[in-house]
A and B are shown apart, each in its own frame.
Chain A
Amino acid sequence: MRYDFDFAVLLDYWPDFLAGAWVTLQLTFLATVFGMAIGTLCAIGARGKRRWLARAIGIYVEIIRNTPFLIQIFFLYFGLASAGLRLPVFTAAVIAMVFNVAAYCSEIIRAGMDTVHPGQIEAAQSLGMSTPTIYWDVILRPAIERVYPALTGQFVLMMLSSSVASQISTEELTAVANNVQSFTFRSLETFLAIAPMYLALAALLKLSFWGIGLFAFPRRRRLGTAL
């Protein structure tokens, strides 16, 4: 059977798509910043001397990594609502994404920290560096530089999974597409149209991570070699 594609009707809705893409970007930005911060702290805690803290972080990471994001977001959003705390959907989506991505980040960063040779830390200690300096300059920065490609990939995946937030009706790109297809009855065209938008967002995200990498790791910029 023949099907006549009609993408023209979607043109009227471009401001909605743009607004949706903007919300997706905001979700991604907030989740990246907070996820990275919490992930780093978790990675430090997981390697620290306090056994109970390391165990607690381990349990948190395993729970997040072994359950679907959709269940996490439902648990958080509907759960808190039933307990009387009605979060705005945007906030709920950000919190769920931060919790989710922080767990993956902490695993990645921990793997990076494990590659730092103990001799380097001992050398830094014998030079009389303070613990925060050692953590920042000797452990974290080289560790993050090493796992930077993996982190980039993880954040791109997180941006893509922000589409799941449409299920609690956060007005991001996929939710907008859902609305548009219910007005136009052009479901296939609508979703075919947002796929390249996500591709563009993914490319934008990779590009910004590359740019941040140039800025954050001057050693690589100057020497042009991998660590």
Chain B
Amino acid sequence: MDIVFNWSYFGYLLYGAMWTLVLSACAFVLGGAAGFLVMLARTAQSRLIRQIALVYVEIIQGTPLLVLLFIAYFGLGVFGIEVPPLVAAAISLMINASAFLGEIWKGCVEAVPRTQREAAECLALTRWQAFVDVILPQAARIATPPTVGFMVQMLKNTSLASVVGFVELTRAAQVINNSTIQPFLVFGIAGTMYFVLCYPLTAWSRSLERTLNVGRR
């Protein structure tokens, strides 16, 4: 008897898409926090801290996310606890995002004109005050479009969590395909769902970029 794709399978895909969103949100919050620390380290006064941060970024950006994921998954398992795949996936996505976001944000902080920092210094603001009150608000404006762009990247990256058995959209599609064997249909629908999730972010990032350019012209 042939099993064909039906609405209950579609519901299962939607359920997977929900977990994709949950995982993306976790990755963005954790990765954003860690990325902020990386950015601080990359722009630190101490040369040593800057260099350590640079080495960290180079290592993470030169290692495939899939390998990071396996290291997190098996590495946590070493401690004898059964690691939920969600935790391993969230941790590896966090590490990956921290390097990329840290590097993006470092660029944005440096893109704020030098004179702003000098003016803050003339007003006798401390280094931290100058950073929080003068540099950060301006850098955040510049950082929004590339950050939203990277969110698309993160959303797509969550598909790799399927490899350690976490049931998100891609895993759900694989499971369904294994019983129905209609790959064009199943992966086509899953791909469409990813597109529906990602495209608004892409479009938003693009329009932000346009408004920002108009403002600076």
Contacts and interface: CB of A to CB of B under 8 A. Distances in A.
B11 interface: no
A70 interface: yes
Contacts of B215: none
B3 to A, nearest CB: 14
Interface stretch (A25-33, A36-44, A76-84, A213-221): A76-84
Interface string A149-164: 0000000100011111
Contacts of A199: 58-59, 62-63
A69 B156 contact: yes
A79 B71 contact: no
Interface residues of B, number: 43
A54 to B, nearest CB: 17
A68 B170 contact: yes
A199 B61 CA distance: 9
Q: Is the interface of B mostly helix, strand, loop or mixed?
A: helix
Interface stretch (B113-121, B134-142, B182-190): B182-190
A1 interface: yes
Contacts, number: 120
Nearest to A178: B70
Contact of A188 (B78, B163, B188): B78
A82 B181 contact: yes
A130 interface: no
A20 to B, nearest CB: 12
B74 A78 contact: no
B183 A78 contact: yes
B99 interface: no
B67 A70 contact: no
Interface string B56-73: 001101111111101100
Interface residues of A, number: 40
Given A63-B195, A78-B177, A71 B67 contact: no
A166 B66 contact: yes
A136 B63 CA distance: 35
B55 to A, nearest CB: 11
Given A71-B173, A187-B70, A198 B194 contact: no
A202 B67 CA distance: 14
A195 to B, nearest CB: 5
Interface string B171-208: 00110010001111001101100110011001000000
A194 interface: yes
Contacts of A67: 156, 191, 194-195, 198
Interface of B: 58-59, 61-68, 70-71, 74-75, 77-80, 152, 156-160, 162-163, 170, 173-174, 177, 181-184, 187-188, 190-191, 194-195, 198-199, 202
10 pairs of A and B residues whose beta carbons are closest in the complex: A78-B183, A68-B159, A66-B198, A163-B64, A202-B62, A187-B74, A68-B156, A75-B187, A160-B64, A199-B62
